[in-house]
Amino acid sequence: MIFFVSLLCSISTHLQAQLGFCGGNSGDPIFTEDFGSGTTDGPALPAGTTTYNFTTGTPNDGDYTISSTTNYFDWLSIQDHTPGDTNGKSFIVNASFTAGEFYQRQVTGLCENTSYEFSSWLINLQPAGSCEGNSIPVNVRFQIWDETDTNLLAQGDTGSILGTGTTEWDQYALVFKTVPGQTSVILKMRNNSNGGCGNDLAIDDIVFKSCGDDVTVSTSTNEQSLIVCENQGSVSRMLTATPDFSIFTTHAYQWQQSTDQQTWTDIPGENSAILDTPAVTTTSYFRVKIAEDIVNVNNDLCNVVSDVFDIIVLPIPPAPTSNGNVEICEGELGVLSVNTQTTYSIKWYDAATGGNLILSDNQNFEIGVAGTYYAEANSIEIECASATRTPVTLTVNLLPVVPEDTSAFLCEDSITSLDAEIENVTYQWSTGATTQLIDVSEAGEYTVTVTNTNGCSATRTFLVDQIDLPRIDNIKSDGPSIVVSTSNTGNFEYSLDGISFQSSSVFEAVDGGFYTIYVQDNTDCGVATADFYHLVIQKFFTPNGDTVNDLFEPDGLEVFSSFTISIFDRYGKLLKFGNLNSASWDGSFLGNQMPEDDYWYLIEADSTQFRGHFSLKR
């Protein structure tokens, strides 16, 4: 746990304080101990730095090592804390069975009446639930002693740092203030807990630095940094340093300038809270050193530094690099693209200068309208554009013009030809053929994709239906009519002579006799024929002597070489038997008129029989 607690100071025999961080700004570190890097353990700390024993192997109780690994026992395997380290080392301690001193270091050359912060990063190396849930927690005491190592000036405890299994380091700090005449102190870290199962820790990045007011730097318009483009020329600002008086009661100033935030140079004569910066044309940084006493302002062991005011001068970006002009086919979208550094964004315009902004913050521009478009590189922070724009041209090629989709028919058991009907292109049929015309023998959907010299394609579809030949199912006589039935359907036409065709399947008022029936589809896919003997038998006759329909006399028997005709009443009694010489019946039997009723006939003509009934009406 990190305690962010304000420093409570009191001067007595021992100056006491609890852990907490500097509430204001700090000076540059007076010293930093990061324990180095490398894959070899060590070296041992200087004599007097610790009461623990150094080892290059596994640290047992009361031992320590300086190593880039913590992979001992069942401890957590972690990286050191120092940012950017490769094989960075840390101070690894296996606590002694009795409480003792981990670390001490003397710091000299300090300033009187000045606040300082002593901090370190710590981590408990025990996994969660270790030692059967009874792991001894880490508990470290930070102490500040006078140079005689007899007077305790300040101290504070971390409290219990439990073995939770996390690999995250935590920082702890102690703030204290030197008294008049005090320029040297001894820093210590002690183990509050006894050793055993647990109380194993790693220590890294011990830092000692001055502590002062929180000092902000801003302009009269409350700018705390400035970013400009180099085409704006030289720039300057009037800066004001504002301390919060949390530590210092008086303030002495020395302004500094840097080009890299590493090397800082004092600006001669700038010793007030206000700085009118020199005009700059390249990136520059400004800060102010502050101390309570003017004699300490240039002593880095005594002063603190303010926040940094950045004047960032961005270079004009180079024009982006085109990835090439783009050609597409009509109806498609083309992607124009350019390359630039990741620190720049891209804007697309419709003109080389001025013009309309079309798209922002994208290196790729998708569009389907032909033309030349212009890409401009720009800073992602402010408007700082490349001096020129990069043109990228989109060409839209026309598609080949194909006839509309069409329907075709295919006669049963035959082939038909399909024609793409466009020349000077390449062809790709759904059948795999690559010619302009193809022959097909099955119904279905066929497509042809044609591609012109620009690589643009269009597709035409053919729907091919099969026309089946008529299949005559039945032919029957219905009185004087011939009725033809087919087992399939279609646009059929019917004929009795193969010349004159009609759309009706019924031929009316046809004389009895032998006929050939013709049935064809109107697409000329072929003709089906069948021979039929048409015998015309009245459905009724009226033997009343008016000479109209007085006889039952079938029509068409004359085509047979021989036939007989028998007529029966409803009880099967033979009333009439005739042949070629007598093929009619007048409705009488043995000279008596037969009554109105239904009667049956049997005609045997050559090898064919005809059966049926008819009515006699008076």
Q: Given this model, what pLDDT does residue 194 score?
A: 75
Q: Which residues face 208 on adjacent strands?
A: 31, 118
Is residue 122 over pLDDT 90?
A: yes
Residues 529, 518 contacting (CB under 8 angstroms): yes
User: Within 13 Å of residue 222, how many CA atoms lie on the same side as its CB?
Assistant: 0
Q: Are strands 53-54 and 63-67 parallel, antiparallel or unpaired?
A: parallel
Q: Which superfamily, per CATH, for 31-211?
A: Galactose-binding domain-like (2.60.120.260)
The pTM of the full predicted model, rounded to 2 decimals, is 0.56
Q: What is the pLDDT of residues 502-559, one digit of tens each?
A: 999 999 999 988 999 999 988 888 899 999 999 999 899 999 988 899 999 998 888 8
SS3 per residue for 435-467: CCEEEECCCEEEEEEEECCCCCEEEEEEEEEEE
Q: To the nearest whole number, what is the mean pLDDT of the chain?
A: 91
Q: Given this model, what pLDDT does residue 585 score?
A: 93
First to last CA, the chain: 128
CA 27, 31, 32 angle in degrees (round to 5)? 105
Confidence band of 222 (pLDDT split at 50, 70, 90): very high
CB atoms within 10 A of CB 132: 7
**Nearest of 304, 343, 324 to residue 210 by alpha carbon:** 304
**Nearest of 263, 109, 271 to residue 184 by alpha carbon:** 109
The amino acid at 269:
G
Residues 254, 271 contacting (CB under 8 angstroms): yes
**Tokens in use for 429?**
């049929």
What topology does CATH give the domain 215-314?
Answer: Immunoglobulin-like (2.60.40)
**Nearest of 33, 189, 215, 24 to residue 101 by alpha carbon:** 189
Residues 466, 490 contacting (CB under 8 angstroms): no
Q: Are strands 152-157 and 31-33 parallel, antiparallel or unpaired?
A: unpaired
Q: What is the pLDDT of residues 378-429, one digit of tens each?
A: 999 999 999 999 999 999 999 999 999 999 999 988 999 999 999 999 999 9
| Spatial distance between the Cα atoms of 502 and 522, rounded to a whole number of angstroms | 10
**Tokens in use for 277?**
């910066």
Sign of CA dihedral 35, 37, 42, 47: negative
Specify the higher pLDDT residue, 259 or 4.
259
CB atoms within 10 A of CB 506: 12
Confidence band of 2 (pLDDT split at 50, 70, 90): very low
**Tokens in use for 129?**
């639930």
Please list, in sequence order, all residues whose beta carbon lies within 8 angstroms of the beta carbon of residue 132, skipping any fewer than 6 positions away.
Answer: none
| Spatial distance between the Cα atoms of 4 and 19, rounded to a whole number of angstroms | 8
Q: Given this model, what pLDDT does residue 581 score?
A: 81
**Nearest of 307, 298, 304 to residue 115 by alpha carbon:** 304
- Mean pLDDT for 201-224 is 94
Q: What is the pLDDT of residues 68-110, one digit of tens each?
A: 999 999 999 999 999 999 999 999 999 887 878 889 999 998 9
Q: Given this model, what pLDDT does residue 226 score?
A: 95
Specify the higher pLDDT residue, 12 or 74.
74
What topology does CATH give the domain 540-616?
Answer: Immunoglobulin-like (2.60.40)
SS3 per residue for 111-177: CCCCEEEEEEEEEECCCCCCHHHCCECECEEEEEEECCCCCEEEEEECCCECCCCCCCCEEEEEEEE
Q: Given this model, what pLDDT does residue 18 score?
A: 63
Q: Given this model, what pLDDT does residue 210 score?
A: 92
- Mean pLDDT for 170-175 is 96
What topology does CATH give the domain 472-534?
Answer: Immunoglobulin-like (2.60.40)
For residue 159, CA distances in Å to 18, 103, 135, 189 come to: 11, 18, 15, 13
- The string of DSSP letters for 203-262 reads EEEEEEEEE---EEEE-TT--SEEEEEGGG--B--EEEEEE--SS-SS-EEEEEEESSSS
For residue 542, CA distances in Å to 374, 430, 618 come to: 103, 70, 6
**Tokens in use for 449?**
């994709």
Q: Given this model, what pLDDT does residue 15 score?
A: 41
Is residue 3 over pLDDT 80?
A: no
| Spatial distance between the Cα atoms of 114 and 184, rounded to a whole number of angstroms | 12
**Nearest of 425, 469, 426, 432 to residue 447 by alpha carbon:** 432
SS3 per residue for 248-266: CCCCEEEEEEECCCCCCEE
Q: What is the pLDDT of residues 15-56, one digit of tens each?
A: 444 689 998 888 889 999 999 999 999 999 999 999 999 999
| Spatial distance between the Cα atoms of 521 and 501, rounded to a whole number of angstroms | 11
Domain 406-467, CATH 2.60.40.10 — does that match?
A: yes
Q: Given this model, what pLDDT does residue 244 score?
A: 93
Q: Given this model, what pLDDT does residue 453 score?
A: 94
Q: Is 321-397 in the same CATH topology as 31-211? A: no
Please list, in sequence order, all residues whose beta carbon lies within 8 angstroms of the beta carbon of residue 547, skipping any fewer than 6 positions away.
Answer: none
**Nearest of 144, 146, 150, 128 to residue 74 by alpha carbon:** 128
Residues 379, 344 contacting (CB under 8 angstroms): yes
311-346 as b/e: b if 16+ CB within 10 A: bbbbeebebbebbeebbbbeeeebebbbebeeebbb
Domain 321-397, CATH 2.60.40.10 — does that match?
A: yes
CB atoms within 10 A of CB 198: 21
CA 31, 35, 39 angle in degrees (round to 5)? 155
Is residue 9 over pLDDT 80?
A: no
SS3 state of residue 322: strand
Q: Given this model, what pLDDT does residue 289 score?
A: 95
For residue 7, CA distances in Å to 155, 156, 212, 215, 247 come to: 11, 11, 12, 18, 10
Where along the chain do its domains lie?
Answer: 31-211, 215-314, 321-397, 406-467, 472-534, 540-616
Sign of CA dihedral 346, 351, 353, 357: negative
- The string of DSSP letters for 1-63 reads -----------SSS--B-S---SS-B-S-SEEE---B-SS--PPPPTTS-SSEE-SS---TTE
355-391 as b/e: b if 16+ CB within 10 A: eeeebeeebebebeeeeebbbbbbbeeeebbbeebbe
Phi-psi map region of 68: left, alpha, beta (phi>0 left; psi -120 to 50 alpha): alpha
| Spatial distance between the Cα atoms of 459 and 461, rounded to a whole number of angstroms | 7
- The string of DSSP letters for 349-405 reads ESSSSS--EEEES-SEEEE-S-EEEEEEEEESSS--B-SS-EEEEEEEEPPP--PPP
- Mean pLDDT for 231-246 is 93
The amino acid at 25:
N
Range of 133-137, 263-267, 602-606 with top mean pLDDT: 263-267
Is residue 14 over pLDDT 60?
A: no
